[in-house]
Amino acid sequence: MAPRILLARHGQTEWSLAGKHTGRTDIPLLEEGRRGAKLLGERLHRAPFDALPGVEVRTSPLARARETCELAGFADRAAAWDTLMEWDYGAYEGQTPAEIQAGRPGWLIWRDGVPQGETLTEISRRADEVVAWARSADRDVLVFAHGHILRSIGARWLGLDLDFAARIRLNPTSLSVLGWAYGEPAIETWNDCGHLTA
């Protein structure tokens, strides 16, 4: 079996609800985020996933991802990994895209990056590290992390430049699966939030 990577975005936080760039600021989950994490866990513990026996689990060390992992029922199998931390937004930490564009019209993070933070090359390199790890053995992997790093992983899994990530949004507590089709890297599911409305 060719390895797949399952991507779980953390649950809703006050800043994600407001659309603020939340990089390294350690924001806790809202009650809605905790509820979503439990529902995600219930989904992953029933068919067709069946608790993912043999899966290797890693999580961002930031509280919102770790708590999502824990509430989903995978903390006992998870290792924290700094490579899964969210983009370091530098001077744009805590700002919304609209606030940034007010002073920088037309700004797009996937093209223009951020001042005093992580570069596009650096975030792409981290995404490549996750992809290489996921493909390194004959087993599935499950990661709990953040919107922009997960979108970056999605683009790089497909072998595309980082700017493709602008076209693949991710909601809080979503589940995505990257796998293979005809021997080529493929998206099996993306931004699936069906467990939140069940």
> Distance (Å, rounded) from C-alpha 44 to C-alpha 188?
15
Q: Which residues in 144-156 are b (16+ Cβ under 10 Å) and which e? A: bbbbbbbbbbbbb
Report the candidate in 75, 192, 86 with the shortest Cα–Cα distance to residue 142.
75
- Interior angle at CA 156, CA 153 and CA 159, nearest 5: 155
Our answer to whether residue 10 is catalytic in this structure is yes
Which residue out of 56, 67, 86, 93 is catalytically annotated?
Answer: 86
In a 3-state reduction of DSSP, which class is residue 165?
helix
Beta bridge partners of 5: 141, 178
Our answer to whether residue 45 is catalytic in this structure is no
User: Could you tell me which residues come within 8 angstroms of residue 51 by beta carbon, excluding any fewer than 6 positions away?
Assistant: 44, 45, 73
Query: In residues, how long is the chain?
Result: 198
- Interior angle at CA 50, CA 48 and CA 56, nearest 5: 110
> Distance (Å, rounded) from C-alpha 170 to C-alpha 155?
13
Question: Two tokens at 54?
Answer: 């043999």
Active-site positions? 10, 86
